[in-house]
Amino acid sequence: MNLQETDFYRWTQETAHALRTGHYAEVDMQSVAEELEKMGASERRELINRLAVLLMHLLKWQYQPGIRSRSWELTLIEQRREIQDLLEDNPSLKPQLQVKLDKAYSKAILKAEKETNLPARTFPVQCPYPLEQILQEDFYPD
């Protein structure tokens, strides 16, 4: 086993030091490239997951109007702001929002079904909200 597998943190520190000091021969460039790709994929997954939580709360808001709470409202605000921050830090993810909307919505339906005890068939098969509305701070579905 190599250091990357046995002590990842130490591997990152030693690799960063080798790169900074110009000791490129000591660096496993394939491993560095793989880790960079994983980091990018992690940002994309975070975007999808935050969008799914936001969508789930929009569904709850719409389909359970009698039990709306300040907590739900604050979660909607928080997720929208976190998505905006993520997009500010990673602007190349913005075009992926529309593409990943279906994936996030399918996750949102599962989450909504679990949290509301409503059957999945309660919710539309396709996302009922345009992306612009989803991200709009003052949008709350009726």
Q: Which H or E run includes 108? A: helix 96-116
Helices and strands, number each (H, E), in the chain: 6, 0
pTM: 0.85
Give the whole-angstrom CA distance, residue 18 versus residue 26. Answer: 7
**Spatial contact of 57 and 116, defined as CB atoms under 8 Å apart:** no
Distant-in-sequence, close-in-space partners of 142: CB < 8 Å, separation ≥ 6: 62, 65
> What digits encode the pLDDT tens for the residues 69-99?
999 999 999 999 999 999 999 999 999 899 8
Which amino acid is located at 38 in the chain? Answer: K
3, pLDDT greater than 90 = no
> What digits encode the pLDDT tens for the residues 55-69?
999 999 999 999 999
Give the whole-angstrom CA distance, residue 14 versus residue 18. Answer: 6
**Would you say how long the chain is, in residues?**
142
Percentage of residues in the chain with pLDDT exceeding 70? 100
Neighbours of 19 (CB within 10 A): 14
Predicted pLDDT at 2: 87
Predicted pLDDT at 5: 84
